[in-house]
Amino acid sequence: AQKVTQAQTEISVVEKEDVTLDCVYETRDTTYYLFWYKQPPSGELVFLIRRNSFDEQNEISGRYSWNFQKSTSSFNFTITASQVVDSAVYFCALSEAQEYGNKLVFGAGTILRVKS
Amino acid sequence: DVKVTQSSRYLVKRTGEKVFLECVQDMDHENMFWYRQDPGLGLRLIYFSYDVKMKEKGDIPEGYSVSREKKERFSLILESASTNQTSMYLCASSLPSSKEQYFGPGTRLTVT
């Protein structure tokens, strides 16, 4: 069975601090996809990244970076030099390649509060 | 840009009422999804549809039904609303191959 665990319920940081959001997943499939979504106060989930299970290269996009480690079943997300606009709920999600209809399984989410 | 719209941002209904939540996407996506979001539980899949008139149960379908008569529109129906269905409801759509889902702004439903 698929499962995604985001152990950090809420994180508070001061602007310009770096922050890492943890994501641990469980799956029996060898082919799967991992995602991060951001949900700002407006409510709409915004897609941030998709990574397939065969691509373990870390990715950097501006102040965002992702560390995918199959050995520990983790897909962590780091925000460098955080800003107030980064305040949101962040969700990690998993989709198995064999899953018909590309259903996503979401973690519980991590609330990030960035204070000025 | 993909646009997914939901009929209402906020809705208040009484227990026992029949409730319709509408979702429309403008990108000709085959797949559409309904989730509910509750604190500490993340998003949970209620139903999804991979084609017109086709539907599949998600993880928590009890108390809900869906309708997809046209490709761009996916409706969630609460046959007899109950207070435990008070939640945020999110609609999403995707292409079959992309795996990436695009979300609407959500409908916050309160059942009193």
**Going residue by residue through chain A (116 aa), what tens digit of pLDDT does each one get?**
789 999 999 999 999 999 999 999 999 988 899 999 999 988 889 999 999 898 888 888 899 999 999 999 999 999 999 999 999 999 999 988 665 557 889 999 999 999 99
| C-alpha dihedral sign at B22, A111, A48, A71 | negative
Instruction: Give B15 to chain A, closest Cα distance, Å.
Output: 25
pLDDT at A101: 59
Q: Which chain B residues have any C-beta within 8 angstroms of a chain A C-beta?
A: 9, 31, 33, 35, 40-45, 48, 50, 56, 58, 88, 90, 92, 94, 96, 98-106, 108
pLDDT at B86: 98
pLDDT at B9: 93
Task: Decide: B76 and B89 in contact? Cβ < 8 Å.
Answer: yes
pLDDT mean over B45-55: 91
**pLDDT tens track for B65-112:** 999 999 999 999 999 999 999 999 999 999 877 678 999 999 999 999
Task: Decide: B68 and B52 in contact? Cβ < 8 Å.
Answer: yes
pLDDT at A55: 86
Total Cβ atoms within 10 A of residue A85 = 9
Which residues numbered 53-92 in A keep a CB inside 8 Å of some CB on B? 91
pLDDT at A99: 57
Distance, CA of A8 to CA of A20 (rounded, Å): 10
Question: How many residues belong to chain A?
Answer: 116
pLDDT mean over B24-45: 93
DSSP one-letter code for B83: G
Tokens representing A30 are 């060898």
Q: Print burial letters for A16-32: b (CB count within 10 Å at least 16), e (below 16).
A: eeebebbbbbebeeeeb
Tokens representing B45 are 């899949």
DSSP one-letter code for A84: G
Task: Decide: B68 and B74 in contact? Cβ < 8 Å.
Answer: yes
pLDDT at B2: 65
Task: Decide: B11 and B110 in contact? Cβ < 8 Å.
Answer: yes
pLDDT at A58: 86
Chain A hits for B100, CB-CB cut-off 8 Å, are 35, 47, 50
Closest CA to B104 of B35, B17, B30: B35
